Amino acid sequence: MHFGLTNEQEMIVSTVRSFVENEIYPHEALVERQGEVPAEIGAEIKRKCLELGFYASNFPESVGGPGLSHVDFALVERELGRGSMALTHFFGRPQNILMACKGEQIEKYLLPAVRGERMDALAMTEPDAGSDVRGMKCQAVRDGGDWVINGSKHFISGAEHADFVIVFVATGVDDTPRGPKKRITCFLVDRGTPGFEIARGYTSVSHRGYQNSILYFDNCRLSDAQVLGEVDGGFDVMNEWLYATRITVATNSVGRARRVFDHALSYAAERRQFGQPIGRFQGVSFQIADMITEIDAADLLTLSAAWRLDQGLPANREIASAKVYASEMLARVTDAALQIHGGMGLMDELPIERFWRDARVERIWDGTSEIQRHIISRELFRPLGA
């Protein structure tokens, strides 16, 4: 077993970390105040990422991407996790399920997304369909040779910048021994399509500037050419995407936790009370010890899950374990860092309170902690027939 990074991987980490520190950190306070990323700043980050050769780093060389392994890409995401998500969005990681594009879709959606010419967003969640994906009410029905979509989606990240949206909708119902089961199909919907509207969503305390949108479909008519994957085969496409996003949440959580930890460690070494640095008190030093132990454990768990994907090994349970552990670790680490900083931890002069707020959503999106535990236990019990 070898746990060290190759020279190339060390270079990836160094390059992306330097990019985040120099191109992301300086704009974070502004984004926090304004609640959005100024267009010129987003465009500049995107331009520099393209020049760096890291845009669409989750795509293979065969379609113009850098061709990084799953472990390499996890390292990229880990370093991006140190910065504001609203800003790192422009670093550019199109949805990997665009690899399911076929025929004319490749030139219209896949390749422009990889080249940074068109931006995408993914729409799955609805007010009554979060963890219960099959509970979605947004549906598409056949009308002649077309599909007509009606319904809505919410909590859709990045839609305000998107040129097209990847949308999952119900396209029928099957009767099963466990009751009705909806069939799901994935569609590619261009901004400006008649009957399709992108509206500003809710104001969140987490990841300010990384806005969410509400999508409305009112008799939105699409042809079969807009189907991504197979009709009624949306779950196959969806599962490929969920693997990638759950590892991303885990790696982002590790990167964010390391940045918070660095603040806490420095503060504990410099802040003096009762004539000595507070880091000499067990109440603080033991917290520091626990923090770094949990961060390292989450890091190794996440990279191990990515490694399994590279080896072609089953990784569903391992990815779920990484997602639930890393996201919950981040909550504990940010809370401990805030406690170590005392009252100053809650002031916006330091980024601690922001990380503390941002950490909360990681246990919810891309599959709640409860869903991850369901996946883990199901994978363990299934071979036993239980």
Looking at domain 7-115, its CATH superfamily turns out to be Acyl-CoA dehydrogenase/oxidase, N-terminal domain (1.10.540.10)
Phi/psi class of residue 18: alpha, beta or left (left: φ > 0; alpha: ψ in -120 to 50)?
Answer: alpha
Q: Which residues contact 173 (CB under 8 A, 6 or more apart)?
A: 180, 181, 182, 183
What does the pLDDT read at residue 128?
A: 80
User: What would the DSSP string read from start to end of 133-176?
Assistant: GGG---EEEEETTEEEEEEEEEEEETGGG-SEEEEEEEEEEEEE
What does the pLDDT read at residue 374?
A: 96
> What residues does 148 pair with on adjacent strands?
141, 221
**What tens-digit pLDDT sequence spans the chain (386 residues)?**
788 999 999 999 999 999 999 999 999 999 999 999 999 999 999 999 999 999 999 999 999 999 999 999 999 999 999 999 999 999 999 999 999 999 999 999 999 999 999 999 999 999 887 777 778 999 999 999 899 999 999 999 999 999 999 999 999 988 888 888 889 999 999 999 999 999 999 999 999 999 999 999 999 999 999 999 999 988 887 777 677 889 999 999 999 999 999 999 999 999 999 999 999 999 999 999 999 999 999 999 999 999 999 999 999 999 999 999 999 999 999 999 999 999 999 998 889 999 999 999 999 998 999 999 999 999 999 999 98
> What residues does 142 pair with on adjacent strands?
147
Gap between the Cα atoms of 112 and 101, Å rounded = 12
| Domain 120-232, CATH | 2.40.110.10
The ranges assigned to domains in the chain are 7-115, 120-232, 241-384
Cβ atoms of residues 286 and 280 within 8 Å: no
Q: CA angle at residue 62 from 94 to 70, to 5 degrees?
A: 60
Gap between the Cα atoms of 265 and 14, Å rounded = 21
What does the pLDDT read at residue 107?
A: 98
Phi/psi class of residue 219: alpha, beta or left (left: φ > 0; alpha: ψ in -120 to 50)?
Answer: left
Looking at domain 241-384, its CATH superfamily turns out to be Butyryl-CoA Dehydrogenase, subunit A, domain 3 (1.20.140.10)
Q: pTM for the full model?
A: 0.93
Cβ density class 19-56: b for 16+ within 10 Å, e for less? bbeebbeebbeebbeeebbeeebbeebbebbeebebbb
266: three-class secondary structure by DSSP: helix
116: three-class secondary structure by DSSP: coil
What does the pLDDT read at residue 180?
A: 82
E strand spans, 158-289: 164-176, 179-190, 196-200, 212-222, 227-228, 272-273, 276-277
